[in-house]
A and B are shown apart, each in its own frame.
Chain A
Amino acid sequence: MSGQPAEEDHELVERVRQGNLDAFNTLVLAYQERIYNLCLRMLGSPPAAEDATQEAFIAAYKNVSKLRGANVRSWLFRIASNLCIDELRRRQRRPLVSLDAPTPDEDAQPMDVPDAEPGPEAWALRGELHEALQAELMRLPHDQRLAVTLCDMEGLQYEEIAEAMGSSVGTVKSRISRGRARLRTRIREQPELFGHLLRPIEEGG
């Protein structure tokens, strides 16, 4: 993921812009993991993320003519971000299924995300922590969740996040800051769950 250039090969992009499906699928293979994980963190469930990812690539293919320059990454993230926000707004308009749903997004399911940790105890603890953190992410307002995810999970810079969200860098900065402030507060409130999460992290972490 980190080794991926922001700009794709120009020749490839030109073929994509001409509507060449094979060329487009090269991009799909290069970016599907990132787009899927973005949708997963935004929508909170693997089935929803799968649908959104498929929709995003279809929408991207149908709108190849709108691809400007060779920054495919921004373009794809923008399409996926808009789709996720639209889906979240659609969910909000539907009546609540359960009154005691813990999160604003009642469709969020526990995520069966495989973990690389070997020991069973460590694995269980780690899984609980990750699920708790994901639950807190799902509590964030959509725009803050998106900004934090694009920054922290996908490693985008503010400029690119601004492009993906269709807003200014200042707005992105503010959304990330407010999102983190909320997460920080919630983590502090639940030490039994998050333990020493807020303890010193060495620089560069």
Chain B
Amino acid sequence: MLFWRGRHEVREADLSAYVDGELNASALQRVEAHLEDCAACRESVTELRAVRHSVKELPRAPVPRSFVLREADVAAAPTRAGGGLFGSVTPLLSGVAVIALVAFVVLAGFDITSDTSNRDAGITVGDFSTSDLDVESASEAPADAAVPQTSEREGYNAGDEGLPGELSPDDGEAVPPQLEGIRDENTDPGTDPQSAVASGDDDETGLRIAEALAGGIAVVAGGAALFIWWRRRQAGAI
């Protein structure tokens, strides 16, 4: 209201703070000087005092019961000083996030490595000829390329969720059916080289899927842990 009367050196908020005794020395002096000359502001101060008084005079209710806590009221032990910010859920989420992140980094590393080794082996469809010698030498390379992927898959599956429907997390020796098929094909002289290449591609696809999953889990678990920590900070209020 005061604001719209052109330049008015004292705002309503100042008058409210004045009523509460919350103005510093210089502001207090300014407001008191102004009040001497401004009837409208004096009227405002009167009304603000009345509002404050009436809220203050609202009856206080006695407590309906005692709020003293019993052991049973407190589900978990209080966080000791220095015990940290995390509850029981966030360490688990953080752990999952870290494992998934490590897995992602490892997988990405192997992905890059296997891309490189594939290029070195010179595996292209055009490389395959009908001669037996060529078939055998070319078929060695996918097997070699497949081996690190296998052990890396085993390592990946040691502690984490496996690819759905394919790998068991508990079975460190598990070899995915695709790779099994590749191995058998590669040791068999009659192997169709193109299917070996196709299986190599399947490998890469599987690897990409694993990377995406690991990355996704890391992001989701890490995000959830952060969110819970933030909410606890808010609610825990300090």
Contact = CB atoms under 8 A, between A and B. Distances in A.
A54 B238 CA distance: 18
Interface string A125-169: 000001001100100000000001101110101100000000000
B119 interface: no
A62 B76 contact: yes
Nearest to B236: A63
Contacts of B12: 177, 181
A184 B17 CA distance: 15
Contact of B62 (A17, A29, A114): A114
Nearest to B84: A65
A28 interface: yes
- The DSSP consensus for interface residues of chain B is loop
A111 B237 contact: no
B130 interface: no
Contact of B55 (A83, A115, A183, A203): A183
Residue picked from B58, B64, B83, most chain A C-beta under 10 Å? B58
Residue picked from A151, A177, A203, most chain B C-beta under 10 Å? A177
3 interchain residue pairs of minimum CB distance: A66-B238, A177-B16, A152-B55
A64 B79 contact: yes
30 contacts: A1-B60, A18-B80, A18-B81, A25-B69, A28-B67, A29-B66, A32-B66, A32-B67, A33-B60, A33-B63, A36-B61, A59-B235, A62-B74, A62-B78, A63-B236, A64-B78, A65-B79, A66-B236, A66-B237, A68-B238, A111-B61, A113-B60, A133-B58, A153-B56, A153-B58, A153-B60, A176-B20, A177-B15, A180-B16, A201-B53
Contacts of A36: 61, 63-64, 67
Contacts of B48: 180, 184
Interface in B203-238: 234-238
A44 interface: no
A17 B12 CA distance: 42
A197 B80 contact: no
A2 to B, nearest CB: 11
A62 B66 CA distance: 19
B47 interface: yes
A166 B95 CA distance: 31
Given A40-B61, A53-B67, A59-B236, 7 more contacts: A29-B68, A32-B67, A50-B65, A137-B55, A155-B56, A174-B13, A177-B16
B51 interface: yes
Nearest to B11: A177
Contacts of B69: 21, 24-25, 28, 57-58, 61
Nearest to A50: B64
A65 B80 contact: yes
